Amino acid sequence: NRALANLAEKARKLSLNPQEKESNHHCEEHQEGLKLFCETDKKLMCLVCRDSREHKSHNFIPVKEAVGIYKDRVKSSLDSLTEKKSVALEMEQQQKQKISQFQVKSP
CB 30 within 8 A of CB 46: yes
CATH superfamily of 2-81: Classic Zinc Finger (3.30.160.60)
- pLDDT tens readout for residues 3-58: 667 766 766 666 655 545 444 688 888 999 999 999 999 999 999 999 999 998 99
Cβ count within 10 A of residue 75: 13
Q: Which residues are bridge partners to 33 per DSSP?
A: 26
Model pLDDT, residue 25? 83
pTM of the model: 0.58
Q: pLDDT at residue 78 above 90?
A: yes
16, 28, 70 from 46: Cα distances, Å? 19, 10, 19
DSSP 3-38: HHHHHHHHHHHHPPPTT--GGG-B-TTT--B--EEE
Q: pLDDT at residue 105 above 80?
A: no
Cβ count within 10 A of residue 26: 14
Name the residue ranges covered by the structural domains of the chain: 2-81
